[in-house]
Amino acid sequence: MTNKLKYFIGNWKMFGDFNSFKIISKINQYAKEHKNAKKSKIVLCVPNILIGFFRKRLKRKSISIGAQNCYHEEGYGPFTGAISAVMLKKMGAEYIILGHSENREEGETAKLIKKKIVSALNQKFNIILCVGEKFIDKKKGKTFSIIKKQINGSIEKNFNTNKIILAYEPVWSIGSKKIPKTKELMNVIRFIKNDFKKNFKTKNFPKVLYGGSVNKNNIKLLSTISEIDGFLIGGASQSSKKFIDIIKNYYK
């Protein structure tokens, strides 16, 4: 059920400017020099305005740059302020986060996310599709059904599922310093893997990341859940030290 390569994916959210290149550069240096990093895929999903700049400045790239969302229409068009998957790809992004709960909260529906997935797949992006329940759903025992609906509502059976990584991010855990209980988390990750494989008839289990308040202190505990293929890291990815410490402690 486990895939060996571990993912450490940073989601900078609304953060960063030209000076933040320092952070990217230090993480890249670490990735270049440490053998742990060779067992890992390190990706930093940064604001759109910084993607091209970072790609250009980064010499001997050992990490990948990603985007955090895209517009649902493809190519170019009369959509003021919008950025399409093709534009992000041309700037040098290789990964893209879609369906983040912070975007769903703004009204992004499964149908809209599906269109975004289609446009990102057309650009051969590696997609990180976020799913996860709110606290109220958890209380009502609806975690599995919510996740199932989120996945099945935005992925079609004929999609290239090899390009889709799932990220389980319980909404109540994001930025709250709370993480799920180990047993509960393991069960959700297993559920996602089994259900996905069965539903989309894939040869292998999908890769599933965990996201929500990941830090250098809780990563050791999280590392005991071998089914987790990696982590989607918010706040702690905005500091090279905090981000690198997570990787270091994971392999300790």
Place of tokens 């609906």: 149
Shortest spacing between CB 23 and ligand 13P, in angstroms = 15
| C-alpha closest to that of 182 among 226, 137, 134, 150 | 226
Kindly state the smallest distance separating residue 100's Cβ from ligand 13P, in Å. Answer: 6
Q: Does 235 bind ligand 13P (CB under 6 A)?
A: yes
Q: Which of 128, 110, 132 is nearest to 189 (CA)?
A: 132
Dig out the tokens for 233 from the structure. 């890291």
- Closest-approach residue to ligand 13P (CB): 234
Task: Map residues 158-177 to x or -, x wherever contact with ligand 13P holds by CB under 6 A.
Answer: -----------x----xx--
CA distance 222 to 232: 12
| 63 or 174: CB nearest ligand 13P | 174
Instruction: Point out the residues that are catalytic.
Output: 100, 169
Does position 214 interact with ligand 13P (CB under 6 A)? The reply is yes
Copy the structure tokens of residue 100: 């983040």
Contact 31, 42 (CB under 8 A): yes
The residues facing 168 across adjacent strands are 131, 210
Q: Give the orientation angle of helix 182-200 with respect to helix 143-152, to 10 degrees.
A: 30
CB-wise, 75 or 241, nearer to ligand 13P? 241
Q: Is 232 in the site for ligand 13P (CB under 6 A)?
A: yes
Distance CA 22, CA 240 (A): 8
Record the tokens describing residue 219, joined without a space.
Answer: 């990563």
Q: Considering only residues 6, 7, 8, 11, which one is a binding residue for ligand 13P as defined by CB under 6 A?
A: 11
> Which residue, 182 or 204, has its beta carbon nearer to ligand 13P?
182
Using CB under 6 A as the binding rule, whether residue 211 contacts ligand 13P is answered as yes
Stretch that binds ligand 13P, among 54-62, 135-143, 152-160, 207-215 (CB under 6 A): 207-215
Give the DSSP letter of residue 43: E
The residue within the footprint of ligand 13P, chosen from 147, 213, 228, 229 (CB under 6 A), is 213
Give the binding site for ligand 13P (CB under 6 A).
11, 100, 169, 174-175, 211-214, 232-236
